Amino acid sequence: MKNPTETMFESAFAEDTYKGLTSYPKYLLSKYIYDEKGDKLFQKIMEMPEYYLTACEFDILRLNATAIAESFSSEKGFDLIELGVGDGKKTKVLLQELLNKGYKFEYLPVDISQHALDELELSLKKELPQVNVKVQQGTYFKTLEKLSEYNSRKKVILVLGSNIGNLLHEKAVEFLANIAKAMSRDDMLFMGFDQKKHPQAILDAYNDPAGITEEFNKNLLVRINNELGGNFDPDKFLHWETYNPETGTAKSFLVSKTPQKVNIKKLGLEVNFDAWESIHTEISQKYDDSIVNWLADEAGLVVERSFSDKENCFKNYIFRRK
């Protein structure tokens, strides 16, 4: 095994993979699921009947589009900056409403996946050609460093789909605090939070009977094989989902069914797995109003308003700086 201090990594993906698979317990970062194949699998997940999040938030945006658009508006116009845009289907509901009202704005979608951004830009040219769009590829944290540069007029920071749920509370506070630092008094943050609910509904959303979520998580192994010269056999791993109703944390794991060794050529790494040893791949945090208000307070924000679906499964909150 190479000493990591002596290893020159060709990419962040290579470095993070090395760190994750040489840690105990083992882990891989979920953001690397989203290559071209991962993007398509996630679009399939969003269409599953068990994955309630997409339909719930879509209904919130559709039913409250006018009120939401009005909260975004500004006489001088505004910059609409979306973090983690994906395919943009839900965002288009708001973009259409903003166009209908004749508001002046520029749309700046950000995503780690260049493929997702290319697809979005192409679809917007066809469906909403009036939208002035400038796509930006990068991670949330790199984007946050640039946010404060947009200070000539109001900015609306948009985070849909409960993407914040990929962060445990400590990291979520840090993420929100960095957004707050980049916000002026007139700016606002519009963010989705999946709500606590029946534990079985949550487990079903992340462990569907069709196996799409399993294939989605195993795409991490496929990507390591393709890009880093790994020899993972995805069939030798079991996808397993857990949910803790006390903490509101859903976790995804890939569990080795047998003792096995995996070689990753470009990392010069041999990884040993015991039978039933796990790789932690994803978390998805669930919330209620008290947790969201606590996160906001810790980060220097305040909740101004929220919008919910009829069943209270999902909420979108408007935050301002304190």
The 10s digit of each residue's pLDDT in 129-157 is: 999 999 988 876 677 777 777 778 999 99
Q: Cα dihedral sign for 228, 234, 237, 242?
A: positive
Q: Which domains occur in the chain, in start order?
A: 4-48+200-285 (no CATH), 64-195+287-321 (3.40.50.150)
> In the structure encoding, which two tokens stand for residue 110, read together?
């950000």
Q: Is residue 15 predicted with pLDDT exceeding 60? A: yes
- Give 7's pLDDT tier (boundaries 50, 70, 90): low
- Give 197's pLDDT tier (boundaries 50, 70, 90): very high
Query: What pLDDT is attached to residue 5?
Result: 46
Q: Is residue 72 predicted with pLDDT exceeding 70? A: yes
The 10s digit of each residue's pLDDT in 200-240 is: 999 999 999 999 999 999 999 999 999 999 999 999 999 99
- Give 259's pLDDT tier (boundaries 50, 70, 90): very high
Q: Is residue 179 predicted with pLDDT exceeding 90? A: yes
Q: Is the pTM of this model over 0.85?
A: yes
The 10s digit of each residue's pLDDT in 267-310 is: 999 999 999 999 999 999 999 999 999 999 999 999 999 999 99
Query: What pLDDT is attached to residue 137?
Result: 87
Q: What is the mean pLDDT of the chain?
A: 93
The 10s digit of each residue's pLDDT in 84-121 is: 887 889 999 999 999 999 999 999 998 888 888 999 99
The 10s digit of each residue's pLDDT in 17-57 is: 999 999 999 999 999 998 889 989 998 999 999 999 999 99
Query: What pLDDT is attached to residue 289?
Result: 97
Query: What pLDDT is attached to residue 146?
Result: 76
The 10s digit of each residue's pLDDT in 161-173 is: 998 999 999 999 9
